[in-house]
Amino acid sequence: MSRALLIVDVQNDFTEDGALAVAGGDAVAAAVTAFLAAHTGDYAVIIASRDWHDADGDNGGHFADAPDYVDSWPVHCVAGTTGAAYDPLLATDAVTHHVLKGQGRPAYSMFEGQTEAGETVGAILTAAGVLSADVVGLATDHCVRASALDAIAHGVRVRILTDLVAGVAAETSDAALAELVHAGAELVESADA
């Protein structure tokens, strides 16, 4: 059975000192790196996504001067900027596919993005015969949630590695995890993966 690791948006703008910092983001980056060092061989594909928003315009209403933090946000992860780069604590040498999303429009799920070669996450998983995926990254209550739900919709058995994710807020993160369990995801710690 082929398994994938999905690394969601571990970027400077979502870790400490970023435009939309998630508390514990740097710790997640470092922990994912340690996990990869021990488990790279467990995965047929390792896909990492990044928000990669256009510098011009509001990206389909995603950017706002007075954001509501639900559907609109401050400027973040602009393509080619330091904020859009992977957190330096995340080692990406084992990543097999890099996916960019949100180019000119809102996008939360990595399934909405594509590689530079135009491959979608769904197509990559199908081509590799992936039947299960472990999901890690940022933020639990937004892009991790959306990516995991789309993986489930794609027919993939999903595990959320709970010590390798961090969310914006405890209440919304708990709600997202509960929703994911209801949708069929399993919650496990990375030591038990």
Percent of the chain with pLDDT over 90: 93
Print the domain residue range for 60.
2-192
Tokens of 63: 């950017």
Window from 19-28, 69-78, 180-189 with minimum mean pLDDT: 69-78
Amino acid occupying residue 177: L
Q: Would you state the pLDDT for residue 70?
A: 85
Mean per-residue pLDDT, 81-97? 98
pLDDT in tens, 27-82: 999 999 999 999 999 999 999 999 999 998 899 999 999 998 888 999 999 999 99
Burial of 67 (C-beta count, 10 Å sphere; 0-12/13-18/19+): middle
Instruction: Give the pTM.
Output: 0.97
The tens digit of pLDDT for each residue in 117-158 reads 999 999 999 999 999 999 999 999 999 999 999 999 999 999
Number of domains in the chain: 1
Backbone angles phi, psi at 30, to 5 degrees: -65, -40
Q: Which of 9, 13, 51, 134 is catalytic?
A: 9
Q: What is the CATH number of the domain that holds 12?
A: 3.40.50.850
Q: How confident is the model at residue 1 (pLDDT cuts 50, 70, 90)?
A: low
Q: For this structure, is 77 an active site residue? A: no
Considering 26, 134, 143, 163, which one is annotated as catalytic? 143
Is residue 49 within 8 Å of 8, Cβ to Cβ? yes
Let me know if 174 is a catalytic residue.
no
Annotated catalytic residue, options 26, 87, 101, 150: 101
Asked about 68 being catalytic, the answer comes back as no
3-state secondary structure of 171: helix
